[in-house]
Amino acid sequence: MSKQSKSKDPSSKGRAVGQAVVELFDKMSLHGDAAVDIAVVKLDHLLADPSIDIDEVVELMTSVQHLLEFVLCVSSDYGFGILSIAILQRQPSTAEDYPSSLLYKLLAQLSRSLCLPYERTSDTPPVLSAHRRSIELAFSVLQAVTHLNATDALAEQMGDDPGSGRWAAKNEEKRHQKRKRSIHTGRAPPVDIVKSIIQYGAPVPTSKRQAAELVTTVVAEQTSILQEVFNMFRKEETIAFFKTTYLPIPPAPTPLTVTIPTQRTRSATTALTPFVPMTGTQQGAFPLVQPIKAALYFENADGFGAWRIQMSTRADRDLRRWRNEDAKMFDIIVNKIKDLSHGNFTKDNHKKLTGVEVDIPIYEAKMTRDSRLVYHIHCDIDFEDNVERQGLIRIFGVYTHAQIDGRFWDTMSRQLGYNGSEYRRRCIFRDRPSNQRGDYTVLPASFEVRSDTEQEVVTPSSSTTDHPDLTREDKEELHSLIALEKFVTFSQAFLNSILADQDVAHVFGVSHREKEIIEHDSSCFVIGRSGTGKTTTMVFKILGIERTYDTGSFRYAMAKPRQLFVTQSQVLAKKVEEYYAKLHQSYATAHLSPDELLEIASQSRTRRERMVDEDEEIFYTSTLPRRFGALEDTHFPLFLTYNHLCRLLENEFRHLVEQEKIDAHRASLLRDIMKLRPRPTRTRPAAYLQEERDTFLDYDTFREIYWSHFPENPLNPDLVWGEFVAVIKGSAGALKSDLGYLDKETYVGHGHSRSQTVSPAQRETVYALFEVYTKRRKLHGHHDPADRTRMLIRCLKAAGVPGKALNFIYVDEAQDNFLIDSLVLKALCSNPHGLFWAGDTAQTIAAGSSFRLGDLKAQLYDVEKNPLSISKRARPQTFYLTRNYRSHSGIVDCAHSIVELITNYWSTAIDDLPRERGMSPGEKPIFFSDHDAAKLQQSLFRDVSGGGVIEFGARQCE
């Protein structure tokens, strides 16, 4: 229910809403399409209250030149529908009321406005010209009726019927005599008015009843014309014209100068020359982030109603299957979904599948004799995060009558009920059916946003969620629908991707906390265990910023935003890039014509894929430039490993020196820092690069070449390598040291608190091994990851960021990096609000990582305290994600018990998070204490219940 105050009358509400609309669409505050998108979202909420007086709203909108026309052009389908329907329902009942009616005022104004794009009358479309003639003629006809009503020329209503026979003749003779007397007394209507009725094609009324019928006919026809006029404002050429007419011309872009801070080293202390990496502004949050919510989320498909439809992954598969197998059945399903979107909750469309004593009702909608849509009503926070809409219909899939099991859906209902009592109340609430739209038509309600406590999902304990009447397949399906399914909006892009038979991905519904992260307008830290949505929030934010730039007016005011996703894992970087490409492709289908969709669907979709296992091969076979300064705007957004990024920077600095792209002083500094030697003129580039690559020392090389030559010790090589590169050489203290690493006294003593896994007694041994390692590394001419990062920091200090700087950097699995790596990434980002760090030290996979995200926060804060910092300090906000979408509560609870043991015995080893919770119940994992390989294999792959063998696959881990 809307929270509009009941103490206000409709007129007062209308004036208040009208004034709000005028302020919302103030042309001086609408700096481009992105700002318009936000205003459009807010307009939907202002118009959602059906009790407002639409006359008052429109009167205030028409007081601003072209405001109403602009709103009709840019409003969402939902807002346009509410506004147009409310206006069309305001019909005058008499001819006397017509000149002052909203119907006539808008017909006159809007028809004139639609003619503005045409300089000559002859250029006006014939349909529009015909409408204008009809509007003028209708006004004259109703004026004539007004004059007839004001005279005695029309018979009274009780004597309207002329009768038959001689009585009819007498009545007609009396009326004729009365009209003659009216002429002699000067009360006859003007001849031109009578002619207008004849031109209209209607007989001149002789009675008040005939006059009333003529008024009804004319008003109905004019209402129909106004509906067509409204639709003309939704055409692309009309939208483009009124955007240009109403919106101010954007100001010319101004270049921004960004200076890389000077850092003290023994090599140089020279201040850096300013670079001009982009055009734009750095005042406050980056401008592309602010309208991201309007750019990222889809509206319903064209022609759909106010109830937003969300499709599960299974429902998507069902639609694609029927599209390929039976086009007629596909059309039936789409039409039924469209019917539900209009709130047409008839008995066949809104039949309960679940019993009486359930939490959240599950419904079925009958389509054919044996096919049903299964769905439930869901409540979620709308784009603005200040209102919660009931208008979400989540469709689980298309089922036959035999496939529908009441026990299964009763269990599903109870699981959904764990979202809380307030959620249950809002889902079952139904606003009163609108009699004007049909006996069964229901509009969605709106509520205040629930508090964090009310939104918390209560995961049931295993004792209360044992379902003995469900089969294993049913339990897996239950977990899939509750936790694994991704519900996406039934948008035009979604529908077109099915029509075009494209394998794309769509933005799906996320939790309130994830949405808050995506829409956050500054830097942030996101901490969460595996499967809680960290990477999803990153990809959605990248997509939202990219789409804001592509669809808005920012492209005319600033350079394309350079966004970089960076991680240690090549597999993760590749998968994220592929996922982003599918998401971006889904937007491309939103505005395709039917012929274009058919053409795409008819094409064979072949894709050449090549598996790459090593970062080195990616670097030397990639189509990307091999140096950072050669990257162009078209390469972004970019998805790289940190190793690949470092190679790009190394090659760039080498290029600056060898090609003499910088002054002699800075070239000399870079040559000393990088220990550059002249490149052999006769050596092939590939061989030279291979030689350069062989000097880099990673963990595998360390274990193969170095570890066997160390004195015998009880330590693990992973732990020792981590202490070498992440603590002794890769910590913030090491960066400040003139040696380039911590001395023995600092490391072994209690002065260094960053060593999380080595006891004080073991540090003596570790440092002794480090001294051996340092001698052998110099002997082999190797440099390790910490050496490389330190070198890059010094190069950035000496020469600045080469080429264009980055605007947004997303660091996934940040715990796999060294602390000093963050300084390189921060230096590359010109936007102080553009750093996104996500990770969890409980799931470190890279050898050598030994820090917490709390340490990262502290280091970045220390850097920003430097008065020579890049720009204004932007303190990042920390978000915690604790809802696991990948595993059920049995697995999540087991993992939490292990984390508790770690934090109890090693309190500083990993980040301390709020307790993680699963979305669905599940059985507790089984621990194997028998190390017999044959028995273990039988336990893992033997189906005890059926006696068969379970093949290893994705479901083995569920």
DSSP secondary structure string for all residues of 279-308: ES--SSS-TTTTTHHHHHSPPPPTT--SSE
Helix (H) and strand (E) counts in the chain: 37, 17
Residues written for the chain: 958
DSSP-assigned beta bridge partners for residue 377 = 393
Instruction: Give the pLDDT confidence score for residue 563 in this predicted structure.
Output: 93
Q: Which residue has the tokens 């100001």?
A: 251
pLDDT tens digits, one per residue of 431-486:
765 555 455 678 877 777 666 555 555 555 444 445 556 667 777 777 777 777 78
pLDDT tens digits, one per residue of 717-741:
888 888 888 888 888 778 788 888 8
- Of these ranges, 578-587, 925-934, 949-958, the one predicted with the greatest mean pLDDT is 578-587
Burial of 905 (0-12, 13-18, 19+ CB in 10 A): exposed
How many alpha carbons lie under 13 Å from residue 125 in its C-beta half-sphere?
13
Instruction: Give the pLDDT confidence score for residue 639 in this predicted structure.
Output: 94
CA geometry: angle 658, 661, 665, nearest 5 deg: 85
Mean pLDDT of 424-435: 71
Q: Is the confidence at residue 295, as pLDDT, over 50?
A: yes
The C-alpha atoms of residue 494 and residue 62 are separated, in whole angstroms, by: 36
List the domain boundaries for the chain.
10-149+190-246, 305-432+441-450+472-489, 512-601+623-691+788-881, 697-782, 889-956
pLDDT band at 284 (very low <50, low <70, confident <90, very high): very low
Mean pLDDT of 381-394: 66
CB count within 10 Å of CB 717 equals 17
pLDDT band at 389 (very low <50, low <70, confident <90, very high): low
Provide the mean pLDDT of the chain. Answer: 75
pLDDT band at 844 (very low <50, low <70, confident <90, very high): low
Structure tokens at 892: 């999540």
Closest CA to 316 of 400, 430, 394, 203: 394
Structure tokens at 554: 């920012």
* C-beta of residue 92 within 8 angstroms of C-beta of residue 77: no
* C-beta of residue 422 within 8 angstroms of C-beta of residue 450: yes
Please check if 751 is assigned to a binding site. Answer: no
Mean pLDDT of 9-34: 81
CB count within 10 Å of CB 94 equals 16
Please check if 641 is assigned to a binding site. Answer: no
The C-alpha atoms of residue 340 and residue 490 are separated, in whole angstroms, by: 12
Q: Which residue has the tokens 């002065």?
A: 751
DSSP-assigned beta bridge partners for residue 310 = 394, 489
Q: Is the confidence at residue 116, as pLDDT, over 60?
A: yes
pLDDT tens digits, one per residue of 524-564:
888 888 778 889 899 989 988 888 777 755 565 567 889 99
Structure tokens at 707: 């570890």
pLDDT tens digits, one per residue of 219-252:
999 999 999 999 999 888 888 888 888 887 655 4
Q: Is the confidence at residue 266, as pLDDT, over 50?
A: no
Instruction: Give the pLDDT confidence score for residue 919 in this predicted structure.
Output: 66
Amino acid at residue number 591: H
Any residues with CB less than 8 A from the CB of 923 and at least 6 apart, and which?
A: 462, 890
The C-alpha atoms of residue 699 and residue 568 are separated, in whole angstroms, by: 13
Mean pLDDT of 604-618: 42
Structure tokens at 9: 């009358």
The C-alpha atoms of residue 171 and residue 163 are separated, in whole angstroms, by: 8
* C-beta of residue 790 within 8 angstroms of C-beta of residue 823: no
Please check if 604 is assigned to a binding site. Answer: no
Structure tokens at 802: 């080469």
Instruction: Give the pLDDT confidence score for residue 661 in this predicted structure.
Output: 84
- Extract long-range pairs of 453-459: CB within 8 Å, 24+ residues apart: 454/420, 454/422, 454/423, 455/419, 455/420, 455/423, 455/512, 456/420, 457/418, 457/419, 457/420, 457/883, 457/917, 457/919, 458/418, 458/419, 458/420, 459/418, 459/889, 459/917, 459/918, 459/919, 459/920, 459/921
- End-to-end Cα spacing for the chain: 40
pLDDT tens digits, one per residue of 809-820:
999 988 888 888
Q: Out of 3.40.50.280, 3.40.50.300, 1.10.240.10, 3.30.930.10, select the CATH number for domain 512-601+623-691+788-881.
A: 3.40.50.300
DSSP-assigned beta bridge partners for residue 368 = 371
Amino acid at residue number 119: E
Structure tokens at 101: 């009616």
Please check if 530 is assigned to a binding site. Answer: yes
Please check if 238 is assigned to a binding site. Answer: no
Please check if 18 is assigned to a binding site. Answer: no
The C-alpha atoms of residue 802 and residue 627 are separated, in whole angstroms, by: 10
Please check if 683 is assigned to a binding site. Answer: no
Structure tokens at 543: 């997509």
CA geometry: angle 410, 411, 412, nearest 5 deg: 90
According to DSSP, the β-strands at 388-400 and 308-311 are parallel
pLDDT band at 260 (very low <50, low <70, confident <90, very high): very low
Q: Is the confidence at residue 50, as pLDDT, over 50?
A: yes
Helix (H), strand (E) at residue 310: strand 308-311
pLDDT tens digits, one per residue of 765-796:
888 898 888 888 888 888 888 889 888 988 98
Please check if 535 is assigned to a binding site. Answer: yes
The C-alpha atoms of residue 287 and residue 555 are separated, in whole angstroms, by: 12
Instruction: Give the pLDDT confidence score for residue 649 in this predicted structure.
Output: 92
* Gyration radius (Cα) of the chain, Å: 36
CB count within 10 Å of CB 551 equals 16
Mean pLDDT of 666-673: 86
The C-alpha atoms of residue 485 and residue 316 are separated, in whole angstroms, by: 11
- Of these ranges, 293-302, 507-516, 520-529, the one predicted with the greatest mean pLDDT is 520-529
Q: Which residue has the tokens 């609870």?
A: 893
* C-beta of residue 415 within 8 angstroms of C-beta of residue 483: no
Instruction: Give the pLDDT confidence score for residue 667 in this predicted structure.
Output: 85
Mean pLDDT of 181-195: 54
Distances (CA, A) of 771 to 460, 741, 765: 54, 11, 10
Q: Is the confidence at residue 937, as pLDDT, over 80?
A: no
Amino acid at residue number 478: L
Least trusted range by pLDDT, from 384-393, 790-799, 874-883 = 384-393
CATH of domain 305-432+441-450+472-489: 3.30.2310.20
